[in-house]
């Protein structure tokens, strides 16, 4: 029996009380039958409330990466523990179990939830398969296009690792005519065609985000901003492509 004990940590609060959470490194892979993108709903036991949930289960370097978006009252953010036993799983807050689920058929999940905020049932079906997460580590070459200024070539040495459930990015950016600068960021939303990334310098002076293409690894049109004392003083668009792993 595979049994994983990991922390589910808040990544980004979303609208309407929804949260997105991620699963950090573990000593064994998520069962393959659970890998994919799942879409479902929850309903309270009294039938007077309900909502949606979306679950993404992938792997990166043999480690599980799980993202959950839901307005389910028992999962309102913070730190959680997730345990797998074959294709069954539970979610705990501290020592209290708040959600249980299981694979009940090909491409079908179902379970129960319960806490001081309510109790009920949930179900989800697999919307599509998802590939392993693509590693963005390597040397990227690109161009910054400033509004009203000449284009500026840049190189980006990027590293990606799974840290407390988050696909974190760090490295150095080299912009022609400027000193090298450290960058940090997050990658997410991987499928067989695209991904999302957000990067910034630690002081927030340069912030960028974009949608990338997996094959070949590149970002055709991203956006960036330049900031001073927290206020935007410029910006533009950028493109980049990985030159070497």
Residues 205 and 146 in one domain: yes
Residue 7 forms part of a structural domain:
yes
Beta bridge partners of 168: 161, 186
Task: Report the candidate in 186, 183, 181 with the shortest Cα–Cα distance to residue 60.
Answer: 186
Q: What is the mean pLDDT of residues 3-29?
A: 37
User: How would you label 154-181 residue by residue, b for 16+ Cβ within 10 Å and e otherwise?
Assistant: bbbebebebeebbbebbbebebeeeeee
Report pLDDT for 7.
33
Q: What is d(CA 143, CA 60) in angstroms, rounded to the nearest whole number? A: 29
Average pLDDT over residues 64-82: 77
CA pair distance 94, 79, nearest whole angstrom: 8
Q: How many CB atoms lie within 10 A of CB 57?
A: 21
pLDDT, mean of residues 130-134: 93
User: Which residues constitute the domain of residue 223?
Assistant: 138-244
108 part of a folded domain = yes
Domain count, the chain: 2
Q: Is 34 helix (H, G, I), strand (E, B) or coil?
A: helix
Residues 172 and 122 in one domain: no
27 falls in which pLDDT band (50, 70, 90)?
Answer: very low
| Cα separation, 15 vs 24, whole angstroms | 24
26 vs 195, more confident: 195
Select the more confidently predicted residue: 59 or 213.
213
Residue 128 confidence (pLDDT) above 70: yes
Find the mean pLDDT for residues 52-61.
Answer: 88
* 34 is a domain residue: yes
166 and 102 share one domain: no
Give yes or no: residues 82 and 10 share one domain: yes
């Amino acid at each position: 029996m595979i049994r994983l004990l990991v922390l589910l940590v808040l990544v980004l609060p979303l609208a309407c009380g929804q949260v997105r959470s991620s699963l950090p490194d573990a000593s064994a892979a998520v069962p393959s039958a659970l890998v994919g993108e799942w879409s479902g709903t929850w309903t309270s036991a009294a039938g007077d409330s309900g909502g949606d949930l979306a679950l993404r289960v992938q792997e990166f370097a043999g480690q599980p990466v799980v993202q959950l978006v839901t307005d389910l009252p028992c999962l309102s953010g913070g730190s959680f523990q997730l345990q797998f036993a074959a294709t069954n799983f539970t979610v705990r807050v501290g020592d209290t179990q708040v959600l249980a689920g299981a694979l009940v058929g090909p491409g079908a999940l179902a379970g129960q939830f319960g806490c001081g905020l309510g109790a009920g049932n949930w179900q989800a079906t697999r919307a599509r398969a998802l590939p392993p997460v693509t590693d963005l580590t390597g040397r990227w070459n690109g161009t910054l296009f400033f509004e009203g200024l000449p284009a500026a070539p840049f190189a980006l040495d990027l590293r990606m690792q799974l840290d407390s459930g988050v696909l974190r990015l760090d490295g150095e950016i080299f912009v022609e005519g400027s000193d090298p600068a450290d960058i940090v960021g997050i990658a997410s939303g991987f499928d067989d065609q695209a991904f999302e990334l957000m990067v910034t310098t630690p002081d927030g002076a340069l912030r960028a985000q974009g949608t990338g293409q997996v094959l070949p690894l590149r970002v055709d049109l991203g956006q960036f901003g330049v900031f001073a004392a927290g206020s935007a003083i410029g910006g533009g668009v950028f493109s980049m492509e990985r030159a070497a792993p």
